[in-house]
Amino acid sequence: MPRYILVVDQGTTGTRAVLYDNEGRIINYSYREHRQIYPRPGWVEHDPLEIWRNTVYVMKDAVKLSEIDPSDIVSVGITNQRETTIVWDKATGKPIYNAIVWQDTRTINYCKSLIEKGLSKFVHEKTGLTISTYFSASKIKWILDNIPGARDRAEHGEILFGTIDTWIIWNMTRGTRDHLTPDRGGAHVIDYSNASRTMLFDIVNHRWSIELLEKMRIPYEILPVVVPSSSRKPYGYMNKDILGEEIPIHGDLGDQQAALVGQTCFRRGEMKSTYGTGTFMLLNTGDKPVHSSKGLLTTIGYVFEGYDPVYALEGSVAISGAAIQWLRDNLRIIRDPSETEKLAGKTGEIGSGGVYFVPAFSGLYAPYWDMTARGLIIGLTRYTRIEHIVHAVLEAIAYQVRDVYEAMIKDAGIVINMLKVDGGATKNNYLMQLQANILGIPVLRPRNIETTSLGAAFAAGLGAGLWRNIDELRKLWVLDKEFKPIWSKEKREKLYSGWRSAVKRAMKWLDEVGELPGSGAYWE
Protein backbone atom coordinates (compact mmCIF):
# COMPACT_ATOMS: atom_id res chain seq x y z
CA MET A 1 0.00 0.00 0.00
CA PRO A 2 1.47 3.43 -0.94
CA ARG A 3 2.23 5.68 2.02
CA TYR A 4 2.79 9.41 1.81
CA ILE A 5 3.78 12.37 3.94
CA LEU A 6 2.20 15.77 3.34
CA VAL A 7 4.43 18.72 4.17
CA VAL A 8 3.46 22.35 4.51
CA ASP A 9 6.45 24.65 3.99
CA GLN A 10 5.28 28.13 4.94
CA GLY A 11 8.06 30.51 3.79
CA THR A 12 8.49 34.27 3.84
CA THR A 13 7.60 34.56 0.17
CA GLY A 14 4.99 31.85 -0.19
CA THR A 15 3.44 28.61 0.99
CA ARG A 16 4.19 25.24 -0.50
CA ALA A 17 2.53 21.89 0.09
CA VAL A 18 4.62 18.91 -0.99
CA LEU A 19 3.66 15.25 -1.07
CA TYR A 20 6.51 12.82 -0.45
CA ASP A 21 6.55 9.06 -0.81
CA ASN A 22 8.40 6.71 1.52
CA GLU A 23 11.56 6.93 -0.66
CA GLY A 24 11.71 10.68 0.01
CA ARG A 25 10.62 11.43 -3.59
CA ILE A 26 8.36 14.35 -4.43
CA ILE A 27 5.06 13.12 -5.88
CA ASN A 28 3.68 16.58 -6.51
CA TYR A 29 3.47 20.04 -4.98
CA SER A 30 1.53 23.27 -5.08
CA TYR A 31 2.74 26.80 -4.27
CA ARG A 32 1.17 30.18 -3.69
CA GLU A 33 2.78 33.54 -2.89
CA HIS A 34 1.22 35.87 -0.34
CA ARG A 35 1.19 39.63 -0.04
CA GLN A 36 4.14 41.41 1.52
CA ILE A 37 2.75 44.34 3.49
CA TYR A 38 5.07 47.32 4.10
CA PRO A 39 3.10 49.89 6.16
CA ARG A 40 6.22 52.03 6.79
CA PRO A 41 9.92 51.89 5.96
CA GLY A 42 11.41 48.99 7.89
CA TRP A 43 8.04 47.40 8.73
CA VAL A 44 7.14 44.05 7.16
CA GLU A 45 3.85 42.26 7.78
CA HIS A 46 1.86 39.30 6.48
CA ASP A 47 -1.86 38.61 6.75
CA PRO A 48 -2.18 35.43 8.88
CA LEU A 49 -5.62 34.62 7.48
CA GLU A 50 -4.29 34.87 3.93
CA ILE A 51 -1.48 32.50 4.92
CA TRP A 52 -3.96 30.04 6.39
CA ARG A 53 -6.21 30.25 3.28
CA ASN A 54 -3.15 29.64 1.08
CA THR A 55 -2.13 26.70 3.26
CA VAL A 56 -5.51 25.04 2.80
CA TYR A 57 -5.46 25.80 -0.93
CA VAL A 58 -1.99 24.36 -1.58
CA MET A 59 -2.68 21.24 0.51
CA LYS A 60 -5.86 20.49 -1.42
CA ASP A 61 -4.21 21.31 -4.72
CA ALA A 62 -1.15 19.14 -4.07
CA VAL A 63 -3.35 16.19 -3.14
CA LYS A 64 -5.50 16.74 -6.24
CA LEU A 65 -2.49 17.01 -8.56
CA SER A 66 -0.97 13.88 -7.06
CA GLU A 67 -4.16 11.91 -7.67
CA ILE A 68 -3.68 10.07 -4.40
CA ASP A 69 -6.20 9.02 -1.83
CA PRO A 70 -5.82 11.24 1.29
CA SER A 71 -6.28 8.13 3.43
CA ASP A 72 -2.81 7.04 2.21
CA ILE A 73 -1.20 10.08 3.88
CA VAL A 74 0.31 8.73 7.08
CA SER A 75 1.36 12.02 8.57
CA VAL A 76 1.61 15.78 8.14
CA GLY A 77 4.81 17.74 8.78
CA ILE A 78 5.08 21.50 9.17
CA THR A 79 8.04 23.75 8.46
CA ASN A 80 7.98 27.51 8.52
CA GLN A 81 9.60 30.91 8.28
CA ARG A 82 10.79 31.38 11.85
CA GLU A 83 10.42 34.23 14.37
CA THR A 84 7.43 35.78 12.56
CA THR A 85 4.93 36.57 15.28
CA ILE A 86 1.17 36.16 15.41
CA VAL A 87 -1.18 36.87 18.31
CA TRP A 88 -4.78 35.76 17.93
CA ASP A 89 -8.08 35.44 19.73
CA LYS A 90 -8.52 31.92 21.07
CA ALA A 91 -12.31 32.02 20.71
CA THR A 92 -12.72 33.54 17.24
CA GLY A 93 -9.42 32.52 15.65
CA LYS A 94 -8.95 36.13 14.46
CA PRO A 95 -5.47 37.66 14.69
CA ILE A 96 -5.44 40.85 16.76
CA TYR A 97 -2.76 42.29 14.47
CA ASN A 98 -1.03 41.26 11.25
CA ALA A 99 1.88 38.83 11.51
CA ILE A 100 5.02 40.85 12.25
CA VAL A 101 7.63 39.33 9.98
CA TRP A 102 11.14 38.40 11.12
CA GLN A 103 12.62 41.12 8.84
CA ASP A 104 10.62 43.90 10.52
CA THR A 105 12.78 46.46 12.34
CA ARG A 106 10.11 48.57 14.10
CA THR A 107 11.33 47.48 17.55
CA ILE A 108 14.85 48.79 17.04
CA ASN A 109 14.71 51.29 19.90
CA TYR A 110 13.29 48.78 22.34
CA CYS A 111 16.07 46.33 21.42
CA LYS A 112 18.66 49.07 21.83
CA SER A 113 17.26 49.79 25.29
CA LEU A 114 17.71 46.13 26.26
CA ILE A 115 21.33 46.33 25.09
CA GLU A 116 21.85 49.57 27.03
CA LYS A 117 20.46 47.90 30.15
CA GLY A 118 23.31 45.40 29.84
CA LEU A 119 21.15 42.39 28.96
CA SER A 120 23.19 41.16 25.97
CA LYS A 121 25.29 38.63 27.88
CA PHE A 122 22.32 37.21 29.78
CA VAL A 123 20.24 36.87 26.60
CA HIS A 124 23.12 35.25 24.73
CA GLU A 125 23.83 32.73 27.47
CA LYS A 126 20.18 31.80 28.00
CA THR A 127 18.85 31.84 24.46
CA GLY A 128 21.98 31.60 22.29
CA LEU A 129 20.82 34.73 20.46
CA THR A 130 22.01 38.29 19.94
CA ILE A 131 19.49 40.94 21.01
CA SER A 132 17.83 41.99 17.77
CA THR A 133 14.56 43.03 16.17
CA TYR A 134 14.86 39.72 14.27
CA PHE A 135 13.43 37.50 17.01
CA SER A 136 9.85 37.15 18.26
CA ALA A 137 10.19 38.62 21.76
CA SER A 138 10.20 42.33 20.88
CA LYS A 139 7.46 41.77 18.29
CA ILE A 140 5.18 40.16 20.90
CA LYS A 141 5.88 43.06 23.21
CA TRP A 142 5.05 45.55 20.46
CA ILE A 143 1.66 43.92 19.92
CA LEU A 144 0.91 43.79 23.66
CA ASP A 145 1.89 47.44 24.08
CA ASN A 146 0.19 48.82 20.99
CA ILE A 147 -3.06 46.93 20.46
CA PRO A 148 -5.70 48.22 22.89
CA GLY A 149 -6.59 45.71 25.60
CA ALA A 150 -4.05 43.14 24.40
CA ARG A 151 -2.02 42.84 27.58
CA ASP A 152 -5.08 42.45 29.74
CA ARG A 153 -6.51 39.81 27.43
CA ALA A 154 -3.17 38.01 27.39
CA GLU A 155 -3.12 37.87 31.18
CA HIS A 156 -6.64 36.40 31.14
CA GLY A 157 -5.68 33.68 28.67
CA GLU A 158 -7.95 35.02 25.92
CA ILE A 159 -5.29 35.47 23.27
CA LEU A 160 -2.51 33.17 22.10
CA PHE A 161 0.95 33.80 20.69
CA GLY A 162 2.53 31.59 18.10
CA THR A 163 5.08 31.49 15.36
CA ILE A 164 3.77 30.42 11.96
CA ASP A 165 4.01 26.68 12.75
CA THR A 166 1.91 27.26 15.87
CA TRP A 167 -0.66 29.21 13.87
CA ILE A 168 -0.94 26.53 11.18
CA ILE A 169 -1.12 23.58 13.59
CA TRP A 170 -3.69 25.40 15.74
CA ASN A 171 -5.84 26.07 12.67
CA MET A 172 -5.42 22.52 11.34
CA THR A 173 -6.55 21.01 14.63
CA ARG A 174 -9.14 23.66 15.51
CA GLY A 175 -12.44 22.08 16.43
CA THR A 176 -10.96 18.59 16.80
CA ARG A 177 -10.92 16.89 20.18
CA ASP A 178 -7.85 14.73 20.34
CA HIS A 179 -4.92 17.14 20.68
CA LEU A 180 -2.36 18.30 23.22
CA THR A 181 -4.06 21.48 24.53
CA PRO A 182 -7.83 20.83 24.72
CA ASP A 183 -8.51 24.09 26.61
CA ARG A 184 -7.06 26.30 23.85
CA GLY A 185 -9.37 25.64 20.91
CA GLY A 186 -6.72 23.76 18.91
CA ALA A 187 -3.25 22.28 19.47
CA HIS A 188 -1.28 25.29 20.73
CA VAL A 189 2.26 24.01 20.23
CA ILE A 190 5.70 25.05 19.01
CA ASP A 191 8.66 22.73 18.51
CA TYR A 192 12.07 23.25 20.15
CA SER A 193 13.70 24.60 17.01
CA ASN A 194 11.07 27.33 16.60
CA ALA A 195 10.95 28.06 20.35
CA SER A 196 14.70 28.66 20.28
CA ARG A 197 14.12 31.61 17.90
CA THR A 198 11.77 33.58 20.14
CA MET A 199 14.50 35.02 22.40
CA LEU A 200 12.39 33.75 25.31
CA PHE A 201 13.51 30.12 25.42
CA ASP A 202 16.22 28.73 27.65
CA ILE A 203 18.07 26.45 25.24
CA VAL A 204 20.10 24.68 27.92
CA ASN A 205 17.27 23.77 30.30
CA HIS A 206 14.67 23.46 27.54
CA ARG A 207 11.98 25.69 29.05
CA TRP A 208 10.59 29.19 28.66
CA SER A 209 12.81 31.64 30.52
CA ILE A 210 10.76 33.16 33.34
CA GLU A 211 13.45 35.83 33.86
CA LEU A 212 13.18 37.01 30.27
CA LEU A 213 9.39 36.90 30.29
CA GLU A 214 9.40 39.09 33.40
CA LYS A 215 11.98 41.50 32.04
CA MET A 216 9.95 41.97 28.85
CA ARG A 217 6.56 41.84 30.56
CA ILE A 218 5.25 38.99 28.43
CA PRO A 219 2.61 36.85 30.20
CA TYR A 220 3.39 33.12 30.33
CA GLU A 221 -0.27 32.34 29.53
CA ILE A 222 0.04 33.25 25.85
CA LEU A 223 2.95 30.92 25.13
CA PRO A 224 2.50 27.62 23.29
CA VAL A 225 3.50 24.24 24.69
CA VAL A 226 6.96 23.18 23.50
CA VAL A 227 7.03 19.80 21.72
CA PRO A 228 9.65 17.60 20.02
CA SER A 229 10.34 18.38 16.35
CA SER A 230 9.54 14.75 15.59
CA SER A 231 7.09 13.13 17.94
CA ARG A 232 5.64 9.62 18.10
CA LYS A 233 2.52 10.94 19.74
CA PRO A 234 0.91 13.38 17.28
CA TYR A 235 0.43 16.99 18.40
CA GLY A 236 -3.08 16.58 17.06
CA TYR A 237 -4.99 15.49 13.94
CA MET A 238 -5.79 17.65 10.95
CA ASN A 239 -9.50 18.43 10.92
CA LYS A 240 -11.40 16.08 8.60
CA ASP A 241 -13.11 19.07 6.94
CA ILE A 242 -9.86 20.02 5.24
CA LEU A 243 -8.87 16.92 3.24
CA GLY A 244 -11.68 14.55 4.10
CA GLU A 245 -9.47 12.53 6.47
CA GLU A 246 -8.14 13.06 9.97
CA ILE A 247 -4.36 12.98 9.53
CA PRO A 248 -1.92 12.96 12.48
CA ILE A 249 0.70 15.73 12.70
CA HIS A 250 4.02 14.27 13.87
CA GLY A 251 6.61 16.81 12.68
CA ASP A 252 7.32 20.53 13.19
CA LEU A 253 10.61 22.31 12.45
CA GLY A 254 11.75 25.84 11.71
CA ASP A 255 12.61 25.97 8.01
CA GLN A 256 16.36 26.36 8.42
CA GLN A 257 16.60 23.51 10.87
CA ALA A 258 14.39 21.47 8.55
CA ALA A 259 16.89 22.06 5.76
CA LEU A 260 19.70 20.84 8.05
CA VAL A 261 17.69 17.64 8.49
CA GLY A 262 16.77 17.42 4.79
CA GLN A 263 20.46 17.71 3.88
CA THR A 264 21.00 14.81 6.32
CA CYS A 265 23.49 16.86 8.37
CA PHE A 266 22.98 14.54 11.34
CA ARG A 267 26.61 14.43 12.45
CA ARG A 268 28.57 17.04 14.34
CA GLY A 269 30.54 19.14 11.83
CA GLU A 270 28.05 18.75 8.95
CA MET A 271 26.81 22.00 7.46
CA LYS A 272 24.37 23.42 4.90
CA SER A 273 23.36 26.77 3.45
CA THR A 274 19.80 27.54 2.35
CA TYR A 275 19.15 30.37 -0.13
CA GLY A 276 15.55 31.58 0.08
CA THR A 277 14.35 35.06 1.01
CA GLY A 278 17.41 35.17 3.28
CA THR A 279 20.37 32.81 3.47
CA PHE A 280 20.96 30.65 6.50
CA MET A 281 24.05 28.56 7.11
CA LEU A 282 23.76 26.00 9.89
CA LEU A 283 26.46 23.79 11.35
CA ASN A 284 25.54 20.76 13.45
CA THR A 285 27.51 21.10 16.72
CA GLY A 286 26.24 17.91 18.37
CA ASP A 287 24.36 17.56 21.64
CA LYS A 288 25.93 20.59 23.38
CA PRO A 289 25.43 24.24 22.54
CA VAL A 290 28.55 26.05 21.27
CA HIS A 291 28.53 29.75 22.08
CA SER A 292 29.89 32.03 19.39
CA SER A 293 32.28 34.91 19.77
CA LYS A 294 32.08 35.84 16.08
CA GLY A 295 28.46 36.91 15.70
CA LEU A 296 26.85 33.54 15.05
CA LEU A 297 23.71 32.35 16.79
CA THR A 298 23.43 29.23 18.89
CA THR A 299 20.20 27.48 18.22
CA ILE A 300 18.43 24.19 18.73
CA GLY A 301 18.84 22.19 15.54
CA TYR A 302 16.14 19.64 16.28
CA VAL A 303 14.81 17.42 19.01
CA PHE A 304 13.75 14.01 17.70
CA GLU A 305 12.03 11.75 20.17
CA GLY A 306 14.39 8.87 20.95
CA TYR A 307 17.55 10.88 20.12
CA ASP A 308 19.74 13.39 21.94
CA PRO A 309 18.87 17.01 21.14
CA VAL A 310 21.02 18.51 18.39
CA TYR A 311 22.35 22.06 18.55
CA ALA A 312 23.59 24.21 15.69
CA LEU A 313 25.61 27.33 15.06
CA GLU A 314 23.79 29.56 12.63
CA GLY A 315 24.87 32.38 10.38
CA SER A 316 21.70 34.24 9.38
CA VAL A 317 21.65 36.62 6.45
CA ALA A 318 18.42 38.61 6.22
CA ILE A 319 18.35 39.49 2.55
CA SER A 320 19.42 37.30 -0.34
CA GLY A 321 16.61 36.06 -2.64
CA ALA A 322 14.66 39.05 -1.30
CA ALA A 323 17.13 41.32 -3.11
CA ILE A 324 16.14 39.56 -6.35
CA GLN A 325 12.49 40.15 -5.49
CA TRP A 326 13.37 43.79 -4.91
CA LEU A 327 14.89 44.01 -8.41
CA ARG A 328 11.66 42.54 -9.72
CA ASP A 329 9.02 44.30 -7.58
CA ASN A 330 10.55 47.65 -6.63
CA LEU A 331 13.03 48.49 -9.40
CA ARG A 332 11.20 46.41 -12.02
CA ILE A 333 14.34 45.66 -13.98
CA ILE A 334 13.53 41.96 -14.22
CA ARG A 335 10.23 40.13 -14.55
CA ASP A 336 11.35 36.84 -13.10
CA PRO A 337 14.19 35.88 -10.73
CA SER A 338 15.55 33.42 -13.30
CA GLU A 339 16.43 36.37 -15.64
CA THR A 340 19.26 37.31 -13.29
CA GLU A 341 21.26 34.30 -14.45
CA LYS A 342 21.28 35.43 -18.08
CA LEU A 343 21.82 39.12 -17.30
CA ALA A 344 24.76 38.46 -14.97
CA GLY A 345 26.21 36.05 -17.54
CA LYS A 346 26.35 38.89 -20.10
CA THR A 347 29.03 40.73 -18.13
CA GLY A 348 31.78 38.20 -18.91
CA GLU A 349 35.13 38.91 -17.25
CA ILE A 350 33.96 42.37 -16.08
CA GLY A 351 31.52 40.93 -13.55
CA SER A 352 29.95 43.74 -11.59
CA GLY A 353 32.51 46.22 -13.00
CA GLY A 354 33.54 47.41 -9.52
CA VAL A 355 29.97 47.84 -8.26
CA TYR A 356 29.03 46.53 -4.81
CA PHE A 357 25.51 46.19 -3.51
CA VAL A 358 24.99 45.81 0.25
CA PRO A 359 21.39 44.69 0.85
CA ALA A 360 21.11 45.90 4.45
CA PHE A 361 17.34 46.41 4.08
CA SER A 362 16.70 45.09 7.59
CA GLY A 363 20.04 46.17 9.00
CA LEU A 364 22.76 43.55 8.83
CA TYR A 365 22.50 40.21 10.60
CA ALA A 366 25.39 37.77 11.04
CA PRO A 367 28.19 38.35 11.63
CA TYR A 368 27.73 42.15 11.94
CA TRP A 369 24.44 42.47 13.87
CA ASP A 370 23.94 46.12 13.06
CA MET A 371 20.27 47.13 13.20
CA THR A 372 21.20 50.64 12.05
CA ALA A 373 22.89 49.64 8.77
CA ARG A 374 20.96 50.39 5.59
CA GLY A 375 21.39 49.25 2.00
CA LEU A 376 23.73 50.84 -0.52
CA ILE A 377 25.03 50.56 -4.06
CA ILE A 378 28.57 51.86 -4.46
CA GLY A 379 31.20 52.00 -7.19
CA LEU A 380 28.84 53.36 -9.85
CA THR A 381 30.26 55.00 -12.97
CA ARG A 382 28.67 56.02 -16.26
CA TYR A 383 29.77 52.64 -17.54
CA THR A 384 27.46 50.83 -15.11
CA ARG A 385 24.52 49.04 -16.70
CA ILE A 386 21.65 46.98 -15.38
CA GLU A 387 23.59 43.74 -15.82
CA HIS A 388 26.43 45.00 -13.62
CA ILE A 389 23.97 45.87 -10.87
CA VAL A 390 22.30 42.47 -11.21
CA HIS A 391 25.74 40.89 -11.01
CA ALA A 392 26.49 42.89 -7.87
CA VAL A 393 23.22 41.66 -6.34
CA LEU A 394 24.14 38.02 -6.98
CA GLU A 395 27.64 38.66 -5.66
CA ALA A 396 26.17 40.20 -2.50
CA ILE A 397 24.30 36.95 -1.84
CA ALA A 398 27.56 35.02 -2.17
CA TYR A 399 29.73 37.50 -0.20
CA GLN A 400 27.32 37.41 2.73
CA VAL A 401 27.74 33.63 2.83
CA ARG A 402 31.51 34.09 2.78
CA ASP A 403 31.22 36.43 5.80
CA VAL A 404 29.33 33.78 7.72
CA TYR A 405 31.64 31.00 6.56
CA GLU A 406 34.67 32.92 7.88
CA ALA A 407 32.97 33.30 11.27
CA MET A 408 31.97 29.64 11.28
CA ILE A 409 35.48 28.28 10.74
CA LYS A 410 36.91 30.60 13.39
CA ASP A 411 34.21 29.81 15.95
CA ALA A 412 33.89 26.08 15.49
CA GLY A 413 37.59 25.62 14.79
CA ILE A 414 36.93 23.03 12.11
CA VAL A 415 38.00 22.68 8.50
CA ILE A 416 35.10 22.95 6.10
CA ASN A 417 35.95 21.63 2.66
CA MET A 418 32.60 21.73 0.89
CA LEU A 419 29.20 23.34 1.25
CA LYS A 420 25.82 21.64 0.72
CA VAL A 421 23.30 24.13 -0.66
CA ASP A 422 19.55 24.23 -1.18
CA GLY A 423 16.58 26.61 -1.47
CA GLY A 424 14.85 28.47 -4.31
CA ALA A 425 17.82 30.61 -5.38
CA THR A 426 20.14 27.60 -5.84
CA LYS A 427 18.41 26.94 -9.17
CA ASN A 428 20.62 29.77 -10.38
CA ASN A 429 23.75 28.07 -11.76
CA TYR A 430 25.55 31.39 -12.21
CA LEU A 431 25.01 32.22 -8.54
CA MET A 432 26.21 28.79 -7.43
CA GLN A 433 29.39 29.10 -9.52
CA LEU A 434 29.97 32.58 -8.06
CA GLN A 435 29.49 31.10 -4.61
CA ALA A 436 32.15 28.45 -5.19
CA ASN A 437 34.52 31.11 -6.58
CA ILE A 438 33.97 33.47 -3.65
CA LEU A 439 34.35 30.74 -1.01
CA GLY A 440 37.15 28.85 -2.72
CA ILE A 441 35.54 25.48 -1.88
CA PRO A 442 33.20 23.22 -3.90
CA VAL A 443 29.47 23.81 -3.63
CA LEU A 444 27.23 20.70 -3.75
CA ARG A 445 23.63 20.96 -4.87
CA PRO A 446 21.35 17.95 -4.25
CA ARG A 447 18.73 16.77 -6.71
CA ASN A 448 15.99 17.92 -4.35
CA ILE A 449 16.58 21.61 -3.58
CA GLU A 450 13.34 21.66 -1.58
CA THR A 451 15.41 20.33 1.27
CA THR A 452 13.36 22.29 3.78
CA SER A 453 10.21 20.34 3.02
CA LEU A 454 12.20 17.11 2.82
CA GLY A 455 13.46 17.71 6.38
CA ALA A 456 9.91 18.22 7.63
CA ALA A 457 8.88 15.03 5.80
CA PHE A 458 11.71 13.17 7.55
CA ALA A 459 10.58 14.53 10.95
CA ALA A 460 6.94 13.61 10.37
CA GLY A 461 7.79 10.23 8.83
CA LEU A 462 10.11 9.25 11.67
CA GLY A 463 7.43 10.16 14.20
CA ALA A 464 4.81 8.16 12.32
CA GLY A 465 7.14 5.17 11.97
CA LEU A 466 7.44 5.40 8.16
CA TRP A 467 11.22 5.37 8.57
CA ARG A 468 12.84 3.53 11.45
CA ASN A 469 15.90 5.68 12.11
CA ILE A 470 18.03 8.49 10.72
CA ASP A 471 20.45 6.09 9.01
CA GLU A 472 17.66 5.16 6.63
CA LEU A 473 17.26 8.84 5.79
CA ARG A 474 20.91 9.41 4.96
CA LYS A 475 20.61 7.11 1.94
CA LEU A 476 17.96 9.35 0.41
CA TRP A 477 20.33 12.32 -0.28
CA VAL A 478 21.28 12.44 -4.00
CA LEU A 479 23.81 14.82 -5.63
CA ASP A 480 22.72 16.87 -8.64
CA LYS A 481 25.74 19.08 -9.39
CA GLU A 482 29.06 20.10 -7.91
CA PHE A 483 30.36 23.63 -8.60
CA LYS A 484 34.14 23.86 -8.32
CA PRO A 485 35.94 27.17 -7.63
CA ILE A 486 37.78 28.57 -10.66
CA TRP A 487 38.98 32.03 -9.54
CA SER A 488 42.58 32.52 -8.47
CA LYS A 489 43.09 33.16 -4.76
CA GLU A 490 44.31 36.66 -5.58
CA LYS A 491 41.15 37.59 -7.49
CA ARG A 492 38.95 36.08 -4.78
CA GLU A 493 40.59 37.93 -1.91
CA LYS A 494 40.82 41.26 -3.77
CA LEU A 495 37.12 41.24 -4.62
CA TYR A 496 36.20 40.10 -1.12
CA SER A 497 38.16 42.88 0.51
CA GLY A 498 36.19 45.36 -1.66
CA TRP A 499 33.00 43.83 -0.24
CA ARG A 500 34.23 44.30 3.32
CA SER A 501 34.87 47.98 2.60
CA ALA A 502 31.40 48.43 1.10
CA VAL A 503 29.84 46.81 4.19
CA LYS A 504 31.73 49.20 6.46
CA ARG A 505 30.16 52.12 4.61
CA ALA A 506 26.65 50.70 5.02
CA MET A 507 27.08 50.15 8.75
CA LYS A 508 25.85 52.57 11.43
CA TRP A 509 24.05 54.61 8.78
CA LEU A 510 21.01 55.41 10.93
CA ASP A 511 23.26 56.20 13.86
CA GLU A 512 25.10 58.72 11.72
CA VAL A 513 22.21 60.45 9.99
CA GLY A 514 19.45 59.92 12.56
CA GLU A 515 15.91 59.66 11.38
CA LEU A 516 15.53 61.40 8.03
CA PRO A 517 12.28 62.96 6.86
CA GLY A 518 10.28 60.16 5.22
CA SER A 519 12.31 57.33 6.68
CA GLY A 520 10.14 57.10 9.82
CA ALA A 521 10.75 53.60 10.98
CA TYR A 522 10.87 53.80 14.71
CA TRP A 523 8.64 52.79 17.54
CA GLU A 524 9.49 54.87 20.58
Ligand X SMILES: Nc1ncnc2c1ncn2[C@@H]1O[C@H](COP(=O)(O)OP(=O)(O)O)[C@@H](O)[C@H]1O
Ligand Y SMILES: O=P(O)(O)OC[C@H](O)CO
Q: Which residues are annotated as a binding site for sn-glycerol 3-phosphate?
A: 12, 82-83, 134, 255
Query: Considering CB distances under 5 to 8 angstroms, the limit depending on partner class, which of ligand X, ligand Y, none binds residue 425?
Result: ligand X
Assess 277 for contact with ligand X (CB under 6 A): yes
Distance CA 523, CA 129 (A): 22
For the chain, state the CA radius of gyration.
22
Which region, judged by CB under 6 A, interacts with ligand Y, from 66-74, 87-95, 224-232, 254-262? 254-262
Nearest by Cα to 341 from 420, 422, 430 = 430
In the Cβ-directed half-sphere of 443, how many Cα atoms lie within 13 Å? 29
Which region, judged by CB under 6 A, interacts with ligand X, from 334-342, 460-468, 483-491, 493-501? 334-342
Q: Spell out, one character per residue from 257 to 296, where the chain touches ligand Y: x when CB under 6 A holds, - when not.
A: -------------------xxx------------------
For residues 458 and 448, is the Cβ–Cβ distance under 8 A? no
Cβ nearer to ligand X, comparing 66 with 80: 80
The one-letter amino acid code at 359 reads P
* Near ligand Y by CB under 6 A: residue from 15, 81, 127, 284: 81
Cβ nearer to ligand X, comparing 292 with 362: 362
Nearest by Cα to 396 from 482, 312, 491, 496 = 496
Q: Closest distance between ligand Y and the C-beta of residue 256, in Å?
A: 5
Q: Spell out, one character per residue from 2 to 41, where the chain touches ligand Y: x when CB under 6 A holds, - when not.
A: ---------xx-----------------------------
For residues 476 and 24, is the Cβ–Cβ distance under 8 A? yes
Q: Closest distance between ligand Y and the C-beta of residue 148, in Å?
A: 29
* Near ligand Y by CB under 6 A: residue from 252, 255, 387, 422: 255
Q: Which segments of 90-130 are extended strands (E)?
A: 99-100
Cα separation values, 456 from 135, 143, 258, Å: 22, 30, 6
Assess 321 for contact with ligand X (CB under 6 A): yes
Q: How does strand 45-46 pair with strand 99-100?
A: antiparallel
Query: Considering CB distances under 5 to 8 angstroms, the limit depending on partner class, which of ligand Y, ligand X, none binds residue 102?
Result: ligand Y
DSSP per-residue letters across 241-287: HHHSS-EEEEEEEEHHHHHHHHTT--STT-EEEEESSSEEEEEEEET
Which 402-461 positions form the footprint of ligand X (CB under 6 A)?
A: 423-425, 427-428, 431
Assess 176 for contact with ligand X (CB under 6 A): no
Size of site (CB under 6 A) for ligand X: 20
Distance CA 266, CA 476 (A): 13
* Near ligand Y by CB under 6 A: residue from 16, 34, 82, 106: 82
Distance CA 193, CA 82 (A): 9
Assess 132 for contact with ligand X (CB under 6 A): no
Q: Closest distance between ligand X and the C-beta of residue 279, in Å?
A: 10
Cβ nearer to ligand X, comparing 14 with 286: 14
* Near ligand Y by CB under 6 A: residue from 48, 66, 78, 83: 83
Assess 229 for contact with ligand Y (CB under 6 A): no
Strand partners, 523: none
For residues 365 and 504, is the Cβ–Cβ distance under 8 A? no
Describe the chain by its helix, strand, coil percentages, rounded to 5: 40, 25, 40
Distance CA 249, CA 267 (A): 26
Assess 325 for contact with ligand X (CB under 6 A): yes
Assess 344 for contact with ligand X (CB under 6 A): no
* Near ligand X by CB under 6 A: residue from 71, 113, 146, 338: 338
Residues contributing to the site for ligand X (CB under 6 A): 11-14, 276-277, 321-322, 324-325, 337-338, 340-341, 423-425, 427-428, 431
Residues contributing to the site for ligand Y (CB under 6 A): 11-12, 81-83, 102, 254-256, 276-278
